[in-house]
Every structure is written in C-alpha cells, then in structure tokens.
Amino acid sequence: MSVSLSIIVPCYNEEQNLNKLWERLNKLKKIFKATYDVEIYPIFVDDGSSDETHNIIKGFSQRDEHTSFISFSKNFGKEAAIYAGLEAAITGDYITIIDADLQDPPELLLDMYKMITSEPYDCIATRRTDRKGEPIIRSWFARRFYKIINKFSNVEIVDGARDFRLMTKQMTESVLQVSERNRFSKGIFSWVGYKTKWIEYENLQRNDGSSKWSFFKLTSYAIDGIVAFSTFPLTVAAIIGLFFCFLAFAFIFIIIARTLIFGDPVAGWPSTICILLLVSGVQMFCIGVLGIYISKIYSETKARPIYIAKDKVIKNKIDGGTHE
C-alpha cells in the first residue's frame, strides 16, 4: 500500500480561494504519486463559514475518492479546525496543515517530504522571513508577543512560525493527546518535543479576501498563548504585591519616626490619594491576571467539545471507506 499524506485545510469564508487551491493540490497530487508513490488525502475543515465554502468543499469530496470534509456548526476558530483536521488525518502516514488562502505554497511540500523521509526529523516546520504586506502595528505587536512568550514560558515559540508544517503520524498522535480546550497550537507543537527542522520562505500575500483575524481576535490569541504556557504573570503579580508590602512598612516606619521627632502636623492628603489610587490600580491589575487564569480553568473544567461538526465525510486509506 502506498504511503499517504493528509493535507488539512482550515477554511473560514474562503470561497474565492478554494478552487485555485484545489487546482494546485491536484497538480501536486500527480507529482507526488509519480515521484514518491505517495497518495494525497486532502481534508477540508469549514470553520462555520457563512459563504459557499461548505458547498464547495462538499463538492470536492464528492468528486474525489480521497478528499474528506468537515463542516462546523459555527465558527470555532482556526485552532479547533486544526484539531478536527488532525483527528480526521490520524490514519495517514504524514500529516500537514496548510492555509486555504495560498499563503503557504503547497509545492513546498515536495521538498518537505523529501526532508522528512531522508533526514532524521519528525517534523518539518516553516517560518516566514519577513512580514511584508502586514500592517506595521500588527507586526510590531506580533514581535513583542514572541519576545514576551519566549522569555516567560517554558516552550520555545519561533518568531514568524506558520502553522504550515509536515509531521509524522507519531508526532500527530502526541499533539492530539494534548486535548486542552484553550488551544495554542504553536506552543503545543513545541511542547510535545520531537525533532523539528525549520525552513524559511518569504511571506506571500493572501490570494483573495482579507485576513480573518481582527486585532481583538489576535490579542486574545496572544493572551491565550501566554496563559497556556506560562504562569509567570502570576509570579509577577505576587512580586508586585510583596514590593508594595515592603514599601508600606518603610512608610509606616518613617511616619512613626517623624511623628515622634516633629510632632503631628496634619498634611499630605494629596499624596495619600495618589498612593491610594496607585495601590488600588495595582490590586485591580493583579486580580485581573488571576481572573484570566481562573477563566481558563473554568472553560477547561466545563470540558465542552473543541468543535461540533454538523456535516462530514471522512475518507482514509485504512479502510478506503467513507464515514457518516
């Protein structure tokens, strides 16, 4: 039986890009078959799109005996789409994730496949060398985010890392074992270990449509990433608390000494107000940090499913069959 390569494509309102991607994948399919005797199994995951995405990918699946699709009941986010794709892909020998907007060139998979089969790596991952075509403010925040997370968390997250990567079945199984709800894949891929080779390519512009990530969505994704892989913010909160305690003791000492020496001139209410504001601000900040962690615990303990599929057809090489 030939080796299989599952290609997971998370799609959210990507109707303008899917046909082009499909063409490129079909070309790639022929080359893979001829060069390596590898069978390609595309898995399209429709993340609750409101456009024609669902019908288009369903059509692909009807036309091709190796193409699967999953459609979510609503938008669960790219992380959930990746998870659903990985679950469906687990019967494959090699698994890859690729964006629907053609920002990840599918043809690169030929080189990546060659590397993973001939070199001792479990994963070939990609990072982009520049952030051309991205808003400047977004790039700036992205850079800060990578600096912060790498300083404070116990996993290494490579700046500019894409989700586009080729993994062995074994590594994919490990990634699926990390079944937390607050998923931050870039961290999870690094956390599971294994040997990863990084290859670089220049940033490509999105084929059509606009980025599905708003600034707010990205910010909350960044917070998710930090909270999921580091408890350092809690330590900072504790240290700030301790610092203010010491400061308070020092002030008490100074005031007692001053009263004993100079008597008790009533003055200084403006400074009292300033201190009051500062301290209550710091307190609110620390409670906020605590709150973020508690909210994550809350959503983990509810143990809701990571996604809900309303329609799917899964095809894999094990039984060559179709489910649901």
Site membership for Mg ion, residue 163 (CB under 5 A): no
Site mask for ligand UDP (CB under 6 A), range 196-215, x = bound: ----------x----xxx--
Q: How far apart are CA 10 and CA 80, in angstroms?
A: 9
* Angle value at C-alpha 92, between 87 and 96, nearest 5 degrees: 75
Among 8, 11, 95, 227, binds ligand UDP (CB under 6 A): 11
Q: List, in sequence order, the alpha helices (H) in 160-214.
A: 169-177, 185-191
Q: Which residue in the set 15, 101, 122, 224 belongs to the binding site for ligand UDP (CB under 6 A)?
A: 101
Q: How far apart are CA 219 and CA 224, in angstroms?
A: 9
Choosing from 4, 7, 8, 12, the residue that interacts with ligand UDP (CB under 6 A) is 12
Among 5, 7, 8, 10, binds ligand UDP (CB under 6 A): 10
Judged by phi (left if over 0) then psi (alpha if -120 to 50, else beta), residue 135 lies in beta
Q: Please report, as residue ranges, which positions from 92 to 111 form the binding site for Mg ion (by CB under 5 A).
A: 101, 103
Query: In the window 206-265, what residues touch ligand UDP (CB under 6 A)?
Result: 206, 211-213
* Identified binder of ligand UDP from the candidate list 28, 95, 97, 100, rule CB under 6 A: 100
Max Cα-Cα span within the chain: 95
d(CA 7, CA 23): 14
**Residues in a beta bridge with 124:** 166, 197
**Of these partners, Mg ion, ligand UDP, none, which one is at the site of residue 78 (CB under 5 to 8 Å by kind)?**
ligand UDP
Q: Which does 77 bind (CB under 5 to 8 A by kind): Mg ion, ligand UDP, none?
A: ligand UDP
Looking at the DSSP bridge assignments, the partners of residue 196 are 123
Minimum distance from residue 163 beta carbon to ligand UDP (Å) = 8
| Tokens encoding 264 | 């008790």
Whole-angstrom distance, CA of residue 167 vs CA of residue 9: 15
Q: Which of residues 196-215 bind Mg ion (CB under 5 A)?
A: 206
Binding interface with Mg ion (CB under 5 A): 101, 103, 206
Binding site for ligand UDP (CB under 6 A): 10-12, 14, 47, 75, 77-78, 81, 99-101, 103, 206, 211-213
